Structure 1
Amino acid sequence: MFPQRKNEEGINVNVTFFSRQPKTLLHKGSGFLTDYTHSLNPYIGCSFACSYCYVRQMPVSLFRGQDWGTWVDIKTDAAALLAKELQRAKAKGTVSIFMSSSTDPYQPIEYREKVTRSLLAVMVEHPPDFLLVQTRSPLVTRDLDLLLRLGQRVRVSMTVETDLEEIRRHFSPQAPPIPARLRALRELAAAGVPTQVAIAPVLPSSEAFPALLRPLVKRVCLDDFYMGDGSGGKRTKRNGIPSLFAELGLEQWAEPDAYRLVYDRLLRVFAEDELFISQKGFAP
Structure 2
Amino acid sequence: MATELLYKQPKTLLNKGTGFLSGYSHSLNPYTGCSFACSYCYVRQMPVSIFRKEDWGTWVDIKQGAAELLRKELLRAKAKGPVTIFMSSSTDPYQPVEYKEQVTRSLLEVMVQEQPDFLLLQTRSPLVRRDMDLLKELGDHVRVSMTVETDLDVIRKRFTPAAPPIGARLKTLELLKEAGIPTQVAIAPVLPSSPAFPEKLKEVVDRVCVDDYFMGDGSGGKRTRNLGIYSLYEESKLQEWYDPSAWRIVYERMKSVFSENGLYVSQEGFEP
- 1:87 corresponds to 2:72: no
Which residue of the other structure, out of 130, 140, 154, is the alignment partner of 1:166? 154
CA distance in 1, matches of 2:66, 2:25: 19
> Is the counterpart of residue 32 in structure 1 residue 17 in structure 2?
no
How far the C-alpha of 1:196 sits from its partner, in A, is 0.1
Q: Deviations over 1:208-237 (max 9, x none)?
A: 000000121111000000000001001101
TM alignment of 1:204-283, pairs within 5 A: 204-283=192-271
Task: Say whether 1:50 aligns with 2:44.
Answer: no
Q: Secondary structure at the match of 2:240?
A: helix
In 2, Cα distance between the equivalents of 1:94 and 1:162? 35
Alignment correspondent of 2:101: 113
**Identity over aligned residues, as a percent?**
68
Distance 1:263 1:44 in 2: 32
User: 1:37-82 deviations in whole A, cap 9, x for unaligned?
Assistant: 0000000000000000000000110010110000000000000000
Residue 18 (structure 1) aligns with: 6
Matches of 2:235 and 2:261, distance apart in 1? 36
List structure 1 segments (4+ residues) > 2 angstroms apart after TM superposition: none
CA–CA distance in 1 between the matches of 2:47 and 2:29?
16
Structure 1 CA distance for aligned equivalents of residues 84 and 225 of structure 2: 32
* Structure 1 residue 271: Cα displacement: 1.1
User: Match of 2:186?
Assistant: 198
> Secondary structure at the residue paired with 1:196?
strand
Aligned counterpart in structure 2 of residue 69 of structure 1, from 34, 37, 57: 57
- Distance of 1:214 and 1:182 partners within structure 2: 10
CA deviation after TM superposition for structure 1 residue 27, in Å: 0.2
Q: Unaligned regions of 5+ residues in structure 1, if any?
A: 4-13
The equivalent residue for 1:100 is 88
In the alignment, which residue of structure 2 is the partner of 1:177? 165
TM-score, normalisation: structure 2: 0.99
TM-score of the pair, normalised by structure 1:
0.95
Q: Match of 2:112, as an amino acid?
A: V
User: How far apart in 1 are the matches of 2:118 and 2:30?
Assistant: 17
The CA deviation at 1:272 is 1.9
User: What CA distance in whole angstroms lies between the structure 1 residues aligned with 2:211 and 2:8?
Assistant: 32
